[in-house]
Amino acid sequence: MASTPPAGAVAPVDGGPRTDLLGLPLAALEAALQPLAVERFRARQIYQAIHQRGARTFAEMTELGKALRGELERRHVIALPRIDTLERSLDGTRKYLFTLADGATVETVDIPDRGRHTLCLSSQAGCALACAFCVTGYWGAGRNLSPGEIVGQVHAVRFDDPPVGASLNLVFMGMGEPFLNLDAVRGALDILLEFVSHRRVTVSTAGVIPGIEAMAAWPRRPNLAVSLHAPDDERRSAIMPINRTYPLADLLAALRGYPLERGRRVTYEYILIRGFNDALRDADALVRLLRGMPAKVNLIPTNPDAVLGERMTPPEPAVVEAFHRRLLDHGMTSTVRRRRGDDVSAACGQLRAHGRAPRGFRRSNLSL
């Protein structure tokens, strides 16, 4: 029986898969090209053609000789994901469904805002964490993405028609938990941070403490966002099973030790669910929880979706505003996330993995 090809492997040639160059930093790309005796300046040309010009094929690299282009084509590939569908929201948001080399699918969202684009990236083809407010978790776990598959999402959107240009923010808030695929996320960032400032990149976690501790040691750290969503363990565990592994006391202890440059904060994301965690006493409890920490609270009225059922309903706008105002009155930095792309299921918590049968959520103690 044939073995299963690794993630990102494509188009077997001469008995083996071609090497994908998309996820290789320059030094690794130079090493991959050594069998072709490619000079270092030529390797840099290839690297720049891929990441600065968005070259999709070696044939486009006309600065290279024809013979070298032919050898590159025979041995290597630039494995950009295939755009399966592209949905456009009335507010300008674009949601891409990408099919990867092995048939796995992920969704990526492009959110335009006054000339700048925020790309919401996926790090896994699914998610095992089963948060009750997130559609991705409804279908369950999927495999980790490779560095090239993460970089490929950016390039496929960045160089699409029309291209979005270099004015980018990148947020790892799509499908999957980035800190359960940290090596690939860091490998992708080694490339992406060459053209996007680390201050314009945000990695969001449901609270995987080993990942937080690992990123704390990086010499250049992107922004950190933590999905909090409840001010106590009982309710957080009801909607986020990961809290049973990494409860609030341990999570906050790790975050108190997280290094932050002057003027930077950790963002705490807080989904507002009607009648569950949206009372003024919950706002007061949230303030007590985060007191003394450099924090920004991003309030997100939950986005309804048919697979989540009626229990996931956003509060009335007046309730959201009262919660927000309570945080501000306590001196906290707080914002309310604008809903973008919800008419094409591209808003927070609505990304899904097509082509798999629904699993449904594990039973919890959530009652609304």
Q: How many CB atoms lie within 10 A of CB 10?
A: 17
What tokens appear for 309 in the block?
């059922």
Amino acid at 99: T
Q: Note if 39 is an active site residue.
A: no
Q: Note if 107 is an active site residue.
A: yes
Contact by Cβ (8 Å): 232, 243: no
What angle in degrees, to the nearest 10, is found between the helix axes of 317-329 and 280-290? 40
The catalytic position among 120, 127, 131, 348 is 348
Burial label for 294, CB within 10 Å (0-12, 13-18, 19+), is: middle
8, HSE (Cβ side, Cα atoms, 13 Å): 23
Q: How many CB atoms lie within 10 A of CB 5?
A: 13
The catalytic position among 107, 149, 177, 269 is 107
- For residue 109, give the 3-state DSSP assignment: strand
* H-helix segments, 269-329: 280-290, 317-329
- The residues annotated as belonging to the active site are 107, 348
